[in-house]
Amino acid sequence: MKRIVFALIVLVCSQLAFAEPAGKANFTLKDMNGMQHQLSSYKGKWVLVNYWATWCSPCLEEVPDLVNLYDHRKQKDLMVLGVVFDYKDVAEVKEYVDDMLMSYPIVLGDDDVSAQIGSADVLPTTFIYNPQGALVKIKRGIITKAFVEKMIAAGKK
């Protein structure tokens, strides 16, 4: 009996190890301006989906790097989508976005977004997709311009 239970546990765990990670599907997100963003629309570009909150000081710290990356690479090889969670109201988010000069699209996070991309235990969390649309990294904590540029450079080799 113990061997059967052990075999079942091993079988279930092995299936979980090979389960498709969250965020691999072709997600569709609607930003605050009403524009739809589909992962498949950005084929050929790196896509960063950055989860953040207005009260999160590490999130505040990484915004300038994300803005810089987006502004300099959006026409070339990168898309940044900010997803705000745990906010009071839309007015608060708009004020924060304006104050931080966030030029990339902002999505209001909800259960639908989490179901498509994945959940985050920590804010900020960034889901990084390669130019083929595969989820290649989930970065918990602050993401920097140098980190992203290193990933892009490594992906070109």
Domains of the chain: 23-155 (3.40.30.10)
Give the pLDDT mean for 102-111: 98
Question: Amino acid identity, residue 15?
Answer: Q
The single residue listed with the structure tokens 């900020």 is 124
Please give the mean pLDDT across all residues of the chain: 87
Task: Tell me the per-residue pLDDT of 35-74, one tens digit each, with 9 for 90 and over.
Answer: 999 999 999 999 999 999 999 999 999 999 999 999 999 9
Dist CA 154 CA 119 (whole Å): 26
Per-residue model confidence (pLDDT) at position 22: 45
Confidence of residue 155 (pLDDT cuts 50, 70, 90): confident
Token pair, residue 72, equals 């300099």
The pLDDT, as a whole number, for residue 156 is 77
Q: Are the C-beta atoms of residues 130 and 136 closer than 8 Å to each other?
A: yes
Beta strand 36-38 with 28-30: parallel, antiparallel or unpaired?
A: antiparallel
125, 139 Cβ separation under 8 angstroms: yes
- pLDDT of 74: 97
